[in-house]
Structure 1
Amino acid sequence: MLRITLAQLNPTVGDIEGNTQRMAAAARQAAGEGAQLIVFGELAVTGFQPGDLLAEPGFLDRVDAALALLQRESAALPDLHWVLGAPTAHAGGPNALPHDSLLVLQGGQLRLSVARRQLAAQGDPDLRRHFAPGPAGAPQLLDIGGVRVGFVVGEDLQDEATTAALAGAAPGLVVHIGARSSCLGRRARHHAECAQASERLRAPLVSVQQVGGHDDLVYDGGSLAAVPGAGVVFEALRFEEDAPLLELHDGGRLSGARGQALADVLTQGLPLMEFYRRQIVLGLQDYARRCGFAKVLVGSSGGLDSALTLALAVQALGAQNVVGVTMPSRFSTAGSVQDSLALGRNLGIELLSHPIADLVAAYGGQFQGSFGQPLAGLALENVQARIRGTVLMEYSNTFGHLLLTTGNKSEISVGYCTLYGDTCGGLGLIGDIYKTEAFELARHLNARAGRELVPQAVIDKPPSAELSPGQRDDDSLPPYPVLDEVLKFLVEGPALPPAQYQAARAFVEEQQRSEEGRALVQRVRRLMAISEYKRHQAAPVLRLRPRPFGAYGRQMPIAARLG
Structure 2
Amino acid sequence: MKIALLQCNAVTGDVVGNVERIAAAAREAAAAGVDLCVTPELALVGPEPGSYARMVDFADGCGRGLDLLAEAVRDAPPLLVGAPVRSVYARGLLSNAAVLCRDGQWQVTSRKVGVGGMSKEGRVFELGLSCGILTLGGWRLGIALCDGEADGESPFWEIQYASGHNPLMEMIQRGVDAIVHMSATPFCRGAQELIEHRLSHVAARHHVHLFSVNLAGGFDSGVYGGQSVAFDPTGQLLARGRAFEEEVLVVDTAAGAGDIHPSCACAEESMWRALTLGVRDFVGKCHAEKAIVGLSGGMDSALVCAVAAEALGPENVLGVLMPSPYSSEGSVTDARALAENLGVRTVTLPIEPVMRAFADTLRPGLGLFPEPAGGDTTFENVQARIRGVLLSSLANRARALVLNTGNKSEAAVGYSTLYGDTVGALGVIADLTKTEVYAVARWFNTARGEELIPRAIFDKAPSAELRPGQKDSDSLPPYDVLDPALQHLLSPDPHGLPLSPVEQDVRARMFAAEFKRRQEPPALYLSDMPFGGGWQVPMSGRYRMPR
TM-score of the two chains, using structure 2 as the length reference: 0.92
Q: Which residue identity does 1:542 align to in structure 2?
A: L
* Distance change in 2, residues 1:370/1:148 (3 Å): closer
- Is it true that 1:526 corresponds to 2:522 in the alignment? no
> Which has the higher mean CA deviation after the structures are superposed, 482-491 or 268-277?
268-277
Name the residue aligned to 2:94.
98
* Structure 1: distance between partners of 2:134 and 2:460: 64
* Distance change in 2, residues 1:106/1:277 (3 Å): same
Does the Cα contact within 8 Å between 1:194 and 1:231 map onto a contact in 2? no
Equivalent residues in 2 for 1:221-370, closer than 5 Å: 221-249=226-254, 254-256=256-258, 263=260, 269-370=264-365
Question: More helix by proportion, 1 or 2?
Answer: 1
Q: Give secondary structure in 1 for the equivalent of 2:491.
A: helix
1:242-281: CA deviations, max 9, x gaps?
11211122xxx7323xxxxx64x76x75301101100000
- Is it true that 1:542 corresponds to 2:534 in the alignment? no
* Structure 2: distance between partners of 1:494 and 1:184: 17
- Is it true that 1:554 corresponds to 2:535 in the alignment? yes
- Is it true that 1:141 corresponds to 2:123 in the alignment? no
Does the Cα contact within 8 Å between 1:120 and 1:126 map onto a contact in 2? no
Q: 1:211 aligns with which of 212, 216, 234?
A: 216
* Structure 1: distance between partners of 2:217 and 2:474: 40
Equivalent residues in 2 for 1:123-202, closer than 5 Å: 126-133=120-127, 135-136=129-130, 140-155=132-147, 156-159=156-159, 161-202=166-207
Measured after TM superposition, the shift of residue 130 of structure 1 is: 1.7
1:274-329: CA deviations, max 9, x gaps?
01100000000000000011100011111111111111111111110010111111
Q: Which residue identity does 1:345 align to in structure 2?
A: E
Name the residue aligned to 1:259.
none
* Structure 2: distance between partners of 1:282 and 1:454: 20
Q: Which residue identity does 1:194 align to in structure 2?
A: L
Does the Cα contact within 8 Å between 1:97 and 1:130 map onto a contact in 2? yes
Measured after TM superposition, the shift of residue 212 of structure 1 is: 0.1
Name the residue aligned to 1:425.
424
Name the residue aligned to 2:151.
none
Name the residue aligned to 2:474.
475
Q: Give secondary structure in 2 for the equivalent of 1:244.
A: strand
Measured after TM superposition, the shift of residue 530 of structure 1 is: 1.0
Q: Give secondary structure in 2 for the equivalent of 1:7.
A: strand
Measured after TM superposition, the shift of residue 24 of structure 1 is: 1.3
* Structure 1: distance between partners of 2:140 and 2:385: 64
* Distance change in 2, residues 1:477/1:140 (3 Å): closer
Equivalent residues in 2 for 1:369-518, closer than 5 Å: 369-372=364-367, 377-494=376-493, 518=500
Does the Cα contact within 8 Å between 2:298 and 2:457 map onto a contact in 1? yes
* Distance change in 2, residues 1:133/1:371 (3 Å): closer
Name the residue aligned to 1:26.
25
* Structure 2: distance between partners of 1:487 and 1:322: 32
1:51-110: CA deviations, max 9, x gaps?
110111312211111111222234333xx22111100111246x5210000112222233
Q: Give secondary structure in 1 for the equivalent of 2:7.
A: coil
**Aligned-CA RMSD value:** 2.2
* Structure 1: distance between partners of 2:117 and 2:398: 40
* Structure 2: distance between partners of 1:386 and 1:75: 57
* Structure 1: distance between partners of 2:506 and 2:108: 54
User: Can you give the 5+ residue segments of structure 2 that lack an aligned partner in the other structure?
Assistant: 148-155, 161-165
Measured after TM superposition, the shift of residue 134 of structure 1 is: 5.0
Does the Cα contact within 8 Å between 1:166 and 1:201 map onto a contact in 2? no
Measured after TM superposition, the shift of residue 231 of structure 1 is: 4.5
Does the Cα contact within 8 Å between 1:164 and 1:201 map onto a contact in 2? no
* Structure 2: distance between partners of 1:175 and 1:371: 66
Does the Cα contact within 8 Å between 2:114 and 2:129 map onto a contact in 1? no
* Structure 2: distance between partners of 1:142 and 1:303: 56
* Structure 2: distance between partners of 1:338 and 1:412: 27
Name the residue aligned to 1:46.
45
Q: Give secondary structure in 2 for the equivalent of 1:276.
A: helix
1:409-467: CA deviations, max 9, x gaps?
10010011101000000001111111111111111111111112111101100011110
Does the Cα contact within 8 Å between 2:10 and 2:217 map onto a contact in 1? yes
Measured after TM superposition, the shift of residue 158 of structure 1 is: 4.3
1:352-394: CA deviations, max 9, x gaps?
0111111111211222234437998311110111111111111
Identity of aligned residues (%): 37
> Which has the higher mean CA deviation after the structures are superposed, 104-113 or 43-52?
104-113
* Distance change in 2, residues 1:246/1:379 (3 Å): same
* Structure 2: distance between partners of 1:152 and 1:457: 52
Measured after TM superposition, the shift of residue 200 of structure 1 is: 4.5
* Distance change in 2, residues 1:120/1:471 (3 Å): farther
- Is it true that 1:88 corresponds to 2:85 in the alignment? yes
* Distance change in 2, residues 1:157/1:468 (3 Å): same
Aligned residues: 527
* Structure 2: distance between partners of 1:424 and 1:222: 34
Does the Cα contact within 8 Å between 2:296 and 2:321 map onto a contact in 1? yes
Measured after TM superposition, the shift of residue 140 of structure 1 is: 3.6
Q: Which residue identity does 1:143 align to in structure 2?
A: T
Q: Which residue identity does 1:196 align to in structure 2?
A: H
> Which has the higher mean CA deviation after the structures are superposed, 160-169 or 480-489?
160-169
* Distance change in 2, residues 1:469/1:201 (3 Å): same
Q: Give secondary structure in 1 for the equivalent of 2:493.
A: helix
> Which has the higher mean CA deviation after the structures are superposed, 535-544 or 150-159?
150-159
* Structure 2: distance between partners of 1:493 and 1:208: 26
* Structure 2: distance between partners of 1:314 and 1:120: 42
Q: Give secondary structure in 2 for the equivalent of 1:494.
A: coil
Q: Give secondary structure in 2 for the equivalent of 1:556.
A: coil
User: Can you give the 5+ residue segments of structure 1 that lack an aligned partner in the other structure?
Assistant: 257-261, 496-500, 513-517
